[in-house]
Chain A
Amino acid sequence: MTEHSASDYQAPHIVPVSTYVLVFLALMLGTAVTTWVAYIDLGAWNTVVALTIAVCKMLLVVLFFMHVKYHPGLTRIVIIGAFFWLGIMITLTCSDELTRHWEIYPRGWSAGAPHIARLLF
């Protein structure tokens, strides 16, 4: 409707079944790995690994199942824009919520560093 009508008059790219199946298997593998890693003690890295795998899975779905790999341009700007805006919301909200209890003056902004470290790890 939006991105498939006026501007792209090329024939739509038909993804082979094998690609879909491969992506599917990669997604299932990612799920298995995420679950398996959760049972291993990596400390704070558990979260990092889990989120990294989640982002990779998302990229696979977006690029292949949602055909974004074959539709560069405005579609990608829309997606990236939306995530960027979400990032703004999260970052600036956290800039308040996580700094509430920072000690202020006279030791300067570096007084907050141990607080950040404690919150994230």
Chain B
Amino acid sequence: MSTVTAELHDVPTEPAVNYLNASYGIKSWLLTLDHKRIGLLYLASITLMFIVGGVAATLMRLHLVEPQGALFEPETYNKMFSTHGIIMVFFFLVPSIPATLGNFLIPLMIGARDVAFPKLNLMSWYIFITGAALALYGTISGGVDTGWTFYPPYSSLYSQTHVVVVALGIFIAGFSSILTGLNFLVTIHKMRCPGMTWFRLPLFIWALYATSLIFVLGTPVIAITIFLLALERLLHVGIFDPAIGGDPLLFQHLFWFYSHPAVYIMILPGMGVISELVTAFSRKKIFGYSFVAFSSLSIAVISFIVWGHHMFVTGQSIYAGLVFSVLSFLVAIPSAVKVFNWTATLYRGSISYQAPMLYALGFVGLFTIGGLTGLFLASLATDVHLNGTYFIVAHFHYIMVGGAVMAYLGGIHFWWPKISGRMYPDMWARISAAIVFLGFNLTFFPQFMLGYLGMPRRYAVYPAEFQVLNVLSSAGASILGVGYVIPLVYLAWSMRYGPVAGPNPWKAKGLEWTIPSPPPTENFEEIPIVTEDAYNYPAIEAPDYPEVPGVARV
């Protein structure tokens, strides 16, 4: 199609019938088998959980403005950070990209009409909200104060809070993850369209495939761990009870066997999103496709053999500590491979700075910082000093918030035209990306310093010498909060009033951009046949190099 003809037909239109309006009424949504609608159901649920967890975080940071605590009694503060951790980890981050963007995009990206088991997909959502409802109920009736890690013997024998209810909520939500992972694995194996070989898949799919492996192999272990903890709590005796020869550290082994891979569940999909964003906004093939694909798998595999680095200072034997320390250094390698490859993709690309790209660039920088600080923690000697301090808090927030959440926001913005058929106002989006970046760094960089100076984590009070840094951190948190609220507003606004986006507003490569926005329920009129590699962008010197309509290119 020549440029002239393309321009004449370039007024984007919304298809009259798409998955959003194909059927009406709440029953059509609650009983849907359409993966796209299920993705949106998840989007709504996890946004709600994000708000709950975010409120807990806001209250925590407000409390920490004063050295003696500004808002709560220590017991309540304990409940605050526990709630924040539990809700954010189990009910926001773990499902975030896989359940929303993954559910929505996987069939579209591989040329399928739906996932392998649509009914199981819907059941996953119901299981998720059952678990979430139970956890919320436990939180509202008083919460838990054990920290999101639930270490016994405190959580099993001494805590007076609603451990079993919340733990049960997590247990139930775990089944949602397992079924989602199972669904994705089978879908990616069996439902790729003709010509979509493994090495033509978008890297987002590779990342989600690796994530699904972790879902399937890791989540059952947290399930049994919670089960055993609940039994011990109910029977007042159990296998972690030292009185009968039990070892509380065994709980930690079983807990972290899942929870460490879980953090990779949280970041791998984000990395997949970044691969998509970096290629689309530098209009270049990814540098080193197979390296990035295999690095996703390596991260998934190696993530399972490093869990002991969470237990260096809790009583683990030094021999095990040595083993885990070495292995933890190993896991940095595939992540670094990705960062190098993204950077190399940017090199000599035709880069434009729309909001998704701002999030992606922010990710690359912040994830690098977070990852490098992880190396300090993998090293035994420095970990002895830094464990249990705000350094750890900063480290994982750099990865989970500076990394995963930014990737999530970037992905939502990138695929928003596909999901809703409308474009959001890019200026507002860029402003809020900048606010998020600024607020994030102001919140968490001081925490690196706090941790290095020795301020312990999970403490409701702290010595006065740390106040300045804490106040900076809290100020940053308020800015960060604003940065999160603004997208809620303009994204909602855009659904009604935003300009119609058309099938491919970003002129990106990928099967999902070949169908109308919003897509019809059956996704593809005809199942496509793939003949080219992923990210097959034309050479940048080509004359028909397209503009993104309606948006000024920086």
Contacts and interface: CB of A to CB of B under 8 A. Distances in A.
Q: Do chains A and B touch in the complex (CB under 8 A)?
A: yes
Interface stretch (A15-23, A47-55, A62-70, A90-98): A90-98
Contacts of B315: 100
A99 B319 contact: yes
A81 B297 CA distance: 14
Contacts of B319: 95-96, 99, 102, 104, 109, 112
B308 interface: yes
A110 to B, nearest CB: 12
B401 to A, nearest CB: 29
A43 to B, nearest CB: 24
A10 interface: no
B50 interface: no
A85 interface: yes
Tell me what chain A mostly uses at the interface: helix, strand, loop, or mixed. helix
Interface in B323-339: 323-324
B189 A95 contact: no
Nearest to A101: B317
B217 A85 contact: yes
A56 interface: no
B428 to A, nearest CB: 45
Interface in B38-66: none
B247 interface: yes
A88 interface: yes
Interface string B292-329: 00000000000011011001000111111001100000
Chain B interface size, as a band, is 20 to 34
A2 B186 contact: yes
Nearest to A109: B319
B315 to A, nearest CB: 8
Interface in A39-84: 74, 81-82
B190 interface: yes
A117 interface: no
Interface stretch (B249-257, B361-369, B405-413, B536-544): B249-257
Interface string A6-18: 1100000000000
Nearest to A93: B253
Contacts of B193: none
A89 B190 contact: no
B471 interface: no
A58 to B, nearest CB: 19
Contact of A97 (B117, B217, B249, B324): B249
Given A6-B190, A85-B217, A89-B257, A99 B304 contact: no
B304 A88 contact: yes
Chain A interface size, as a band, is 20 to 34
Contacts of A92: 305, 307-308, 320, 323-324
Nearest to A82: B217
A60 to B, nearest CB: 25
Given A92-B323, A97-B247, A104 B318 contact: yes
Contacts of B117: 1
Contacts of A97: 247, 249-250, 253, 317
B249 A89 contact: no
Contacts of B308: 92, 96
Given A88-B305, A92-B305, A93-B250, A99 B190 contact: no
A96 B190 contact: no
A37 B311 CA distance: 41
Please indicate which of the listed interface residues A2, A74, A109 has the most CB atoms of chain B within 10 Å of its own CB.
Answer: A2
Given A6-B190, A89-B221, A100 B317 contact: yes
Please indicate which of the listed interface residues A1, A5, A6, A92 has the most CB atoms of chain B within 10 Å of its own CB.
Answer: A92
Contacts of A85: 217, 304
A90 to B, nearest CB: 10
B305 A95 contact: no
The 9 A-B residue pairs whose C-beta atoms are closest, nearest first, are A96-B320, A99-B317, A99-B319, A100-B317, A93-B253, A95-B320, A6-B190, A96-B316, A85-B217
Interface of B: 116-117, 186, 189-190, 217, 221, 247, 249-250, 253-254, 257, 304-305, 307-308, 311, 315-320, 323-324
19 contacts: A6-B190, A7-B190, A74-B189, A85-B304, A88-B304, A89-B257, A92-B320, A93-B253, A93-B254, A95-B317, A95-B320, A96-B311, A96-B320, A97-B247, A97-B253, A99-B317, A99-B318, A102-B317, A102-B319
Given A7-B190, A92-B305, 13 more contacts: A2-B190, A5-B190, A74-B189, A85-B304, A92-B307, A93-B254, A95-B319, A97-B247, A97-B253, A99-B318, A99-B319, A102-B319, A104-B318
